[in-house]
Amino acid sequence: MHPQDTDIPNLVADMQHSVRAALAEDVGSGDITAQLIPADQRARARVITREDCTLCGRAWAEEVFRQLDPELRLEWHFEDGDKVPAESVIFELEGSARSILTGERTALNFLQTLSGTATTASQYATRAADTQIRILDTRKTIPGLRSAQKYAVLCGGCHNHRIGLYDAFLIKENHIAAAGGIDKAVAQARAIKPEALVEVEVENLEELKQALASGADVIMLDEFTDADTQAALSLARGKAKIEISGSVDSERLRQLAQLDVDYISSGSLTKHLRAIDLSLRIDL
């Protein structure tokens, strides 16, 4: 997969901006340790994963070294979305030893973080592989890396919920109270942005009926029992999609698959990630 293959808005521009900010944060006025190395010293290096992972972040790593030194040459052995076994060489690079070492940490920070997100998403996607359920991410992302993590979720085989507050409505309890009811909130949403998806979170079957009557596209069930979930699915069939939100383990996923739920959204895809253990080894 490549960032240009997605519909995530401004992904490439966001990537370039994130890399620029990360390099400014790390390099500052200059890498004084790299100055220990002769300016004309060339080197080869290998980036290795110490654990199994789903790769993500190739374009971010490439952008780090492009911004630092366009003459560096990178050779990749895996693509974003590939399952990479532990101890594999992900990519090699050749060129200025100073440039390689200056960019090492920033490049690996992006690669290990986005690969951690993609690996978590891949685990969820595997759980849902034999079901009709689509696993969605949320807005619980690392600040400044929203579009990057949304891309990583796709690399892992899951799907994107709304990108931000601007592209879809998600009407929750406080919105409903402030707007004066579900019907008024949905009507106002249609007036503000008619083409946008409208989702309503409900806490009971009565609110579900109100959401259906209002014409909501998706209804999120908050803390419903299995019996009430089944009732909600029967009421909503052909009228709206049903989403369950929250952490779902393998057993719970099997139960929800039997109930024929449309979506499960989980903040764990992006907020509970563990960075993949990567290392760079240099050969002079």
**Which residues have a catalytic role annotated?**
105, 140, 172, 201, 222
Q: What is the side-by-side order of every strand in the sheet holding 42-49?
A: 73-76, 89-96, 42-49, 278-283
- Dig out the tokens for 33 from the structure: 């340790």
* HSE-CB of 153 using CA atoms within 13 angstroms: 29
How far is Cα 43 from Cα 73, in angstroms, rounded to an integer? 11
State how far the alpha carbon of 234 is from the alpha carbons of 98, 112, 242, in Å.
Answer: 64, 43, 10
C-alpha radius of gyration, the chain, whole number: 23
User: Tokens 């959401």 sit at which residue?
Assistant: 211
